[in-house]
């Protein structure tokens, strides 16, 4: 059954997040929180919204059904993997998204008044428009921001999200955010200011994020990625540091490292994740670059013939990677 319709109607922006759109429209209709909206949709929590709700959401808010359909994050189990699609781009690892854990740019909320879907990506820690760090904790109550709040523009404690203090982002996180935005925005291109950014050119969004994750996840050579560690989801700060490490290590890798430096990079870069990508990357370019970086760049022995079957590659994949 289709829900009733609210008084103030509107459609989402093309780069708006579905959760943000629902919260924004609830606010436009002066609803105290999302309880009524969720009741209309037959959901208990905003985090339960799925791609099955898009027609109901469009109907409820009098929105253009096509516009809502385009901002919905689709997901499906495919060959045992939980695959997502964001604006048509495939994401093969659920931990590369952080949809249930919102983050925000104070200046975007102040200037544009809506939450961007790009903030749902784990590796996006900077605003590609304003060049400031994204935030995930309220500066007033220190609690993580939640979708389950009364207003898009305020924390559950009442503090304004638009007025939260902004800090400039560093170059590596701005480059990653700019590249991910370009992947999500057909017709948008970014120039590679640093050689490591050139590695991302030609890769799928999924492939580029997997490469960055593989390169930056380990804090140091002694850091072993434990079971479930990647799946648990990283904080914005942890991802910011991971982007910086990825930029540094990939820069060293493309700069023809000495044998000693290559041996050190083999300990720093999460080689099993690279090998997994060389086997099951979503595009030929993804697989080729992962193979080239692991074999030529890092000097890891190639996986040959039958040994490169799914069962063997599965052994090389650490839990959660």
- Contacting residues toward Zn ion, per CB under 5 A: 105, 107-108, 127, 129-130, 138, 140-141, 155, 157, 159
Structure tokens at 96: 């590369």
Tell the smallest beta-carbon distance from residue 149 to Zn ion (Å). 9
Q: Which is nearer to Zn ion, 63 or 132 (CB)?
A: 132
Indicate the residue among 132 and 274 with the shorter CB distance to Zn ion.
Answer: 132
Least distance from Zn ion to the Cβ atom of residue 54, Å = 26
Task: Tell the smallest beta-carbon distance from residue 126 to Zn ion (Å).
Answer: 9
Q: Min. distance of Cβ 243 from Zn ion in angstroms? A: 17
Coil, strand or helix at 91: strand
Q: Given strand 89-91, what is the order of strands in its sheet?
A: 74-78, 81-86, 89-91
Nearer CB in complex with Zn ion: 43/107: 107
State which residue, 119 or 196, has the beta carbon closest to Zn ion: 119
C-alpha 105/C-alpha 162 separation (Å) is: 8
* 211-234 b/e (C-beta count within 10 Å ≥ 16 → b): bbbbbbbbeeeeeebeeebbeebb
For 197, half-sphere exposure in the C-beta direction (CA atoms, 13 angstrom radius) is 18
Report the distance separating Cα 39 and Cα 76, nearest Å: 25
Tell the smallest beta-carbon distance from residue 292 to Zn ion (Å). 35
Closest to Zn ion by CB, 138 or 300: 138
Return the H-helix or E-strand segment holding 288. helix 284-292
Our CB check for Zn ion shows the closer of 140 and 292 to be 140
- If the CB atoms of residues 127 and 209 are measured against Zn ion, the closer one turns out to be 127
Nearest Cα to Cα of residue 122 among 253, 237, 288, 267: 237
Cα separation of 182 and 175, whole Å? Answer: 11
CA dist 30 → 8, 23, 60, 63 (Å): 9, 11, 14, 17
Q: To the nearest whole angstrom, how small is the minimum distance from the Cβ of residue 155 to Zn ion?
A: 3
State in angstroms the smallest separation of the CB of 220 from Zn ion: 32
């Amino acid at each position: 059954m289709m829900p009733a319709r609210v008084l103030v109607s509107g459609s989402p922006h093309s780069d708006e997040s579905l959760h943000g759109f629902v919260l924004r429209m609830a606010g436009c209709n002066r609803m105290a929180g999302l309880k009524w909206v969720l009741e209309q949709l037959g959901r208990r929590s905003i985090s339960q919204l799925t791609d099955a709700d898009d027609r109901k959401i469009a109907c409820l808010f009098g929105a253009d059904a096509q516009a809502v359909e385009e901002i919905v994050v689709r997901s499906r189990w495919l060959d045992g993997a939980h695959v997502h699609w964001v604006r048509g781009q495939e994401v093969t690892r659920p931990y590369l998204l952080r949809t249930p854990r919102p983050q925000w740019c104070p200046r975007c909320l102040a200037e544009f008044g809506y939450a961007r879907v790009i903030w749902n990506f784990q590796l996006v820690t900077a605003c590609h428009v304003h060049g400031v760090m994204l935030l995930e904790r309220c500066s007033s109550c220190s609690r993580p921001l939640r979708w389950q709040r009364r207003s898009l523009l305020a924390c559950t404690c009442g503090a304004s999200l638009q007025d939260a203090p902004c800090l400039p982002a560093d170059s590596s996180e701005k480059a990653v955010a700019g590249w991910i935005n370009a992947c999500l925005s057909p017709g948008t291109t970014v120039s590679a200011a640093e050689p490591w950014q050139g590695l991302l050119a030609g890769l799928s969004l999924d492939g580029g994020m997997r490469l960055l994750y593989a390169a930056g996840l380990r804090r140091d050579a002694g850091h072993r990625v434990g079971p479930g560690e990647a799946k648990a989801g990283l904080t914005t700060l942890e991802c910011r540091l991971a982007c910086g490490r990825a930029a540094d290590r990939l820069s060293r890798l493309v700069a023809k490292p000495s044998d000693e430096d290559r041996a050190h990079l083999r300990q720093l870069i999460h080689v099993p994740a690279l090998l997994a990508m060389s086997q099951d990357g979503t595009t030929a370019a993804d697989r080729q670059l992962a193979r080239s970086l692991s074999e030529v760049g890092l000097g890891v022995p190639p996986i040959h013939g039958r040994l490169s079957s799914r069962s063997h590659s599965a052994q090389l994949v650490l839990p959660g990677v």
